[in-house]
Amino acid sequence: MKALLASGYIHVTSPYWHDPAGKASRTARYQASASLLAHLHKAGGSLAILERNKGAEGIRLKDNDKRLIEYGDTGFANDARDKLRLINDMLEAHWADLALTDDVLARERAKTQGKRQDEATQPFDFAKRTVYRVFNNCDWEQGGRFYGAWWISVPSELRRCILIDGKRTVEVDYSGLHAAMLFAEHNLPIPDDPYQRCLTQTGGKAERSLVKRTFNALLNADSVNSINEIDGYSAQLTGKEWGNFKTFIVDCYPEFTKQFGTGVGLRLQCQDSDLAETVMLEFAAKGYACLPVHDGFVVHHALQDDLTAAMQKAFEAKFGYVGQVGFEIGEGETVEPSFNAIKFDPNKLLKPVGYEKRLQDFWLTKRLQA
């Protein structure tokens, strides 16, 4: 490490910090320099060759202070680990990328740097193709969502550009999943849009996003009064100051009054992560790629119906049939029509660049491994 640092081949992105109280310590993080990457590229190196340590722990348990803890030999963790191995084998068998030029990719990467100190700091590290699960508060029934893969932390507006094995994709999300879960648990019909009753019909998607985020914040908080104003909140859009808006959301759902401000959100996250596990295992059994994004998935565009069917089946199996759970279909990459003749350039076929080069390297690596 000292030699690499001294030569300028790596540099520190987040320094090590030890908190004597043990609450704010953090591990140092390092990043390859442009010089090292240039040397690796010249030597024929590729992201497609990189793999995560298969022996790394994929089932993680955190305490109330969000610190990882040891949990010993646990039947639940052992079973979850076996299933995770099948899911990660499926993810590693395919190559996910963004249909962006290297210049655009560099600009998008620059927008995200230095903003957060977690997995979202490296949303464009295409070598991160596997996931792990994180459970919270020393409880196997809280949390459990999948993290770690680059597409989970990539800006949402770029997910429509995701390619799987060089082919365009579609994203399907459960509509208002945690609200739908609560309706199901109370044996109530699930509305087409669980957030509809809070909308004024004038704010569009932006207003719905604020309703959704506030609703989930109310479920995750220990008390209604403790919730600070969410990022990007607009009183102009909702017509209400933050405190009144919180009260408005609570009043819109008299069925769930006892759920708000209780921290129930982590229990619901555990259930939605179980749904995700079920859906991904079904796709893994069929040999198809299925990329998890918390309450949704990205698949090859031709598999949209298969995905919605798998999501519906998983929901009904877990909660019973109490109504049609809704889905939100994300728009995949669109190709603008061109009226200019396409010129044949053999050099582009023989020496591709960007995401096409990474895909070619991936298939070459797979053939060599076989």
CA triplet 278, 170, 90: central angle to 5 degrees?
A: 40
Where residue 114 falls among pLDDT bands split at 50, 70, 90?
low
Tell me the average pLDDT across 273-277. Answer: 97
Q: Which of 199, 160, 159, 149 is nearest to 179 (CA)?
A: 199
Beta bridge partners of 11: 31
Q: What is the pLDDT of residues 314-368, one digit of tens each?
A: 999 999 877 778 888 876 555 455 566 666 677 777 788 889 999 999 999 888 8
Q: What is the pLDDT of residues 212-263, one digit of tens each?
A: 999 999 999 999 988 899 989 999 888 899 999 999 999 999 999 999 999 9
Please tell me the predicted confidence (pLDDT) of residue 331: 62
Please tell me the predicted confidence (pLDDT) of residue 115: 63
Helices of type H across 115-241: 150-153, 177-185, 204-220, 235-238
Where residue 301 falls among pLDDT bands split at 50, 70, 90?
very high
Q: 16-25, 200-209, 293-302, 353-362: lowest mean pLDDT where? A: 16-25
Instruction: Please give the structure tokens belonging to residue 182.
Output: 């609560």
- The larger pLDDT score, comparing residue 19 to residue 201, is at 19
Where residue 34 falls among pLDDT bands split at 50, 70, 90?
confident
- The larger pLDDT score, comparing residue 54 to residue 134, is at 134
Q: Which helix (H) or strand (E) holds 79?
A: helix 75-92
248 within 8 A of 240, measured Cβ to Cβ: yes
State the helix-helix crossing angle for 204-220 and 242-252, rounded to 10 degrees: 80
pTM: 0.87
Mean pLDDT for all residues in the chain = 88
Give residue 234's identity as a one-letter amino acid code. S
- What are the angstrom distances between the C-alpha of 127 and each of 49, 94, 95, 150, 191? 8, 12, 9, 8, 40
d(CA 272, CA 178): 8
90-111 as b/e: b if 16+ CB within 10 A: bbeebbbbbbbeeeebeebeee
Residue 87 pLDDT exceeds 70: yes
Please tell me the predicted confidence (pLDDT) of residue 119: 47
d(CA 179, CA 212): 9
Q: What is the pLDDT of residues 142-161, one digit of tens each?
A: 999 999 999 998 988 999 99
Q: Which of 157, 183, 218 is nearest to 326 (CA)?
A: 183
Where residue 120 falls among pLDDT bands split at 50, 70, 90?
very low
Residue 40: how many other CB atoms lie within 10 Å = 15
Residue 275 pLDDT exceeds 50: yes
d(CA 207, CA 272): 24
Where residue 40 falls among pLDDT bands split at 50, 70, 90?
confident
- The larger pLDDT score, comparing residue 336 to residue 137, is at 137
Where residue 78 falls among pLDDT bands split at 50, 70, 90?
very high
